[in-house]
Amino acid sequence: MVIHRFTATCPAGVGVYLAQELTEFGAREVVERPIGVQFSGDLGLAYRICLWSRLANRVILELGSYPVQTGDELYEAACEIDWPAHLPEGRSLMVDFAGRSSDVRNPQFGALRIKDAIVDQHRAKGRARPTVDVKSPDIRIHARLSKGTISLGIDLSGESLHRRGYRLDGGLAPLKENIAAAALWAADWPTKSCEGEALIDPMCGSSTLLLEGALMALDIAPGLKRRSFGFDGWAGHDLSQWRAIKAEAEERRVAASGRAIEIRGYDGDIQAVRRSQENIQRLGLENTVRLRCKDLAAVTRPTHRDLPRGLLIVNPPWGERMGSPDSLPPLYNRLGQLMSEEFEGWRGVVLTSELDLGKAIGLRASKKHRFHNGRLELHCLQFDLSVDNEFRSLAQHALRQPSERVNDEPPTLTEGAEVVMNRLRKNYRRLKPWIERESISNYRLYDADIPEYAAAIDIYEGHLHIAEYAAPKSIPDETARRRLNDLVLGAQHYAGLPSADSIAIKRRQRQRGAGQYQKLGATADRLVVHEGRIKALVNLHDYLDTGLFLDHRPLRSWIAREAKGRHFLNLFSYTGVATLHAAAGGATTSTSVDASATYLDWFKANLALNGFSERQHRGVRSDVRTWLATDTRHYDLIMLDPPSFSNSRGERDFDVQADHETLLELAMARLSSEGVLYFSTNRRRFELSESVTARWYVENVTVSSIPKDFSRHQRIHACWRLQHPRGVEKA
């Protein structure tokens, strides 16, 4: 038995696991190196590694190492090897050269000198000159120049071993197969699968993690379906030994084919699911790896059988794979919530390129590893999903209850502040039964109840938001400032806060033109709030509006009830909260249209926070009227909530009173014959055109659309429900 020295290359970070794998194969003198793992063994061992290794990229038969600096020394070193003993006559070759020295400065030159030595040897022995083929060579020469030493060898792998052949299209920034295998190996999946544990990927993409897990669980050699290896054209190839090793692998596959293993994948993108199904079919694993098109929000632990233990593994979108980085922390937090709530007792593995995204998961990682997926560094985070690993939401803490108040006391109350505080307490006592009955956590507590203190005070998950109304011109600035200070101080005492720093205060100074609509700050602080079955991001500091219109709460609940199985259209969609309710209510698809890139990015972050797919719930940046004039689809449920006025740059001027009839005509053209459109406006003294009521079925639902916390003052908005007359067919 001839013993050779080999090097198995692998991605950075995988070497420690590759060394374990090679030792299990029977390799000796195993040493981890920067480029991979060196080991000793016979030719049969090299064949087994080429066929069975789940972690290696290449297996190199080492031929020799020599000190070199110049191109001539490189040529002489290559001449030390008997190349005709490795390269049969008439075969093609390629020299894969890496490294440099003071004289050898580029890989093309180094490869050329080694090729010249090989060609000259063949000529000297009267053999036909080998040809060069950089695409599909018969023999691949491995050459690495480092620290003045050239290492030469034969690449027995051919194409990189990580390419199993089952994945033709990996999508954007695909996860390499051996990186997926390394993540599974680090989680001890080969052992746990034999113990009956399940494997689930809630965002499976092309299902690389699931398929690598299935190959491990079913004892299938990853190279079994490869058409060729690098040793096929090598002169030292032992065909009979290779056939015996491959036949043994086939026997093991058949013997393990009856194993019952639970492997499931989900993805909100139907195209990704179809791509995955094609990959599964190429491996013949349709009965093992089962997929469903399902958003992250809808994923739960399977209930068809008891699954107390398992591995949830996922490679969610990261910066290189998604164009909306603001939506990533909410997505990762939603993933952490899923793991905590649905998969207690399991183990979790998350792959991410950003550790900050890993922190957004909200769970404490028990182990961390780093792999290089091409040029991108990936962090592999492992989680023990026990009761002790408490999930931390992105939501901030609510207001302190009286028992939790700090010792510091707010400043002494002024007479005006005391009046405000007492009114807030009175309002809360009136609203409390409704708040508790409806589980309301975001509501209006005060709305200029006392004329001298003209502001709105809203509660968002216990956080105070105060928006001052512009004072009449007859009120001196000093008086307006004093009244606002009293208002803030009264709210501060009501909440039991030691200072007003934690209160979001919007001072509407007297400005002209568009000044009052400018961005107010750049804190980028977002708070996660809850409404019914959904969560939404609000920003209490940077804009006059927070990202959630509280007065539309009933309308959003109607949309949630009516959306199941329907196609929903949200016009002037803002941050898309109504779309979230439609998605949670079972909308088949949704389209949200708004001219603001800021609001669309906010909408995408809201989608990710709730685990909804952008494929199913798309956002469109466009002027609504322009988009409606060109769109050809029909929708079963439409929400139309335009601004009162708009003169944004790049858009046509808009006045809801003057333009609502034309706008409704465009929107109703997109409504299906049995569909429903809700039209709302907060323009005071708005009057619906008589031609609208004459043309369509119109029901005024304003009274029922105004929630209890807005019912004590003037109408905050007006709302109508529109339908086509019966028997009208849409074009």
The two domains 4-155 and 177-218+259-384 share their CATH topology (first three levels equal): no
- Kindly tell me if the per-residue pLDDT of 279 is higher than 50: yes
Which of 292-296, 357-361, 404-408, 434-438 has the least mean pLDDT? 404-408
Question: What contacts 648, CB < 8 A, 6 or more positions away?
Answer: 595
Residue 390 predicted with pLDDT over 50: yes
Q: Taking a C-beta distance cutoff of 8 angstroms, is the pair 672, 723 a contact? A: no
Residue 340 contacts residue 363 (beta carbons within 8 Å): yes
* Strand ranges inside 272-318, DSSP E: 289-293, 310-314
- At 193, list the tokens: 């699968």
Identify the band that residue 517 occupies on the pLDDT scale cut at 50, 70 and 90. very low
**pLDDT-above-90 percentage for the chain:** 71
| Tokens (6 digits) for 688 | 């619906």
CA 397, 530, 541, 479 torsion: positive or negative? negative
Where is pLDDT greater, at 354 or 208? Answer: 208
Q: Which of 70-79, 92-101, 409-418 has the lowest mean pLDDT?
A: 409-418
Residue 327 has pLDDT above 90, yes or no: no
CATH class of the 402-517 domain in this structure: alpha beta
Q: DSSP letter string over 289-302?
A: EEEEE--GGG----
Using one digit for the tens of pLDDT, what is the confidence trace for 15-48? 999 999 999 999 999 999 988 999 999 999 999 9
For tokens 């689809």, the residue is 633
pTM for this predicted structure: 0.76
- What is the distance between the alpha carbons of residues 279 and 205, in angstroms, rounded to a whole number? 11
Closest alpha carbon to 132 in 145, 116, 144: 116
The residue among 381, 353, 377, 380 whose CA lies nearest residue 11 is: 377
| Interval 381-408 mean pLDDT | 63
Q: What pLDDT, on the 0 to 100 scale, is given for residue 506? A: 84
Q: What percent of the chain has pLDDT over 70?
A: 92
Provide the pLDDT for residue 386.
Answer: 87
What does the alpha-carbon distance between residue 102 and residue 182 come to, in Å, rounded to a whole number?
37
pLDDT digits (tens, 9 = 90+) for 472-504: 888 888 898 899 999 999 999 998 887 777 789
CB atoms under 10 Å from CB of 78, counted, come to 27
- Cα dihedral 262/268/274/276 (nearest 10): -50
* Selected residue with higher pLDDT from 264 and 502: 264
pLDDT at 398: 38
Token pair for residue 208?
A: 């690389």
- Rg of the chain over CA atoms, in angstroms? 33
Average the pLDDT over each of 275-284, 502-511, 665-674 and give the range with the smallest value.
Answer: 502-511
Nearest residue to 588 via CA among 672, 669, 528, 532: 672
Q: Is 375 helix (H, G, I), strand (E, B) or coil?
A: coil
Sorting pLDDT into bands at 50, 70 and 90, what band is 522? Answer: low
- The band of 194, judged by pLDDT with boundaries at 50, 70 and 90, is very high
Q: What is the pLDDT of residue 727?
A: 55
Overall average pLDDT of the 710-728 stretch: 85
Predicted confidence (pLDDT) at residue 405 exceeds the cutoff of 70: no
Give every CB contact of residue 607 below 8 A, 6+ residues apart in sequence. Answer: 327, 576, 579, 580, 583, 613, 614, 617
- In degrees rounded to 5, what are phi and psi of residue 569? -125, 125
pLDDT at residue number 523: 53
pLDDT band at 646 (very low <50, low <70, confident <90, very high): confident
What integer pLDDT is reported at residue 169 of this predicted model?
A: 61
Q: Is the pLDDT at 401 greater than 70, yes or no?
A: no
Q: Is the pLDDT of residue 649 over 80?
A: no
Nearest to 200 by CA among 213, 183, 186: 213
Tokens standing for 500?
Answer: 């007003």
CATH (residue range 177-218+259-384): 3.40.50.150
CATH 3.40.50.2300 fits 549-723, yes or no: no
Q: Indicate if the pLDDT at residue 126 is higher than 60.
A: yes
3-state secondary structure of 514: coil
What pLDDT, on a 0 to 100 scale, did the predictor assign at position 318?
A: 66
Can you tell me the distance from the alpha carbon of 255 to that of 250, in angstroms, rounded to the nearest whole number?
A: 9
Domain range 4-155, CATH architecture:
2-Layer Sandwich (3.30)
Other C-beta atoms closer than 10 Å to the C-beta of 687 total: 9
232 versus 477: the higher-pLDDT residue is 232
> How confident is the model at residue 714, as a pLDDT?
64
Instruction: Tell me the angle at which helices 15-25 and 43-52 cross, rounded to the nearest 10 degrees.
Output: 130
Residue whose token pair is 């007492």: 422
Q: 727: exposed, middle or buried (C-beta count within 10 Å: 0-12, 13-18, 19+)?
A: exposed
**Every domain of the chain and the residues it spans:** 4-155, 177-218+259-384, 402-517, 549-723
How far apart, in Å, are the Cα atoms of 164 and each of 4, 8, 283?
Answer: 26, 17, 10
At 599, list the tokens: 């609001």
pLDDT at 404: 38
What is the reported pLDDT for 512?
38
Q: How far apart are CA 491 and CA 488, in angstroms?
A: 5
Amino acid at position 554, single letter: P
End-to-end C-alpha distance for the chain, whole angstroms: 80
Least confident stretch, 244-248, 329-333, 588-592: 329-333
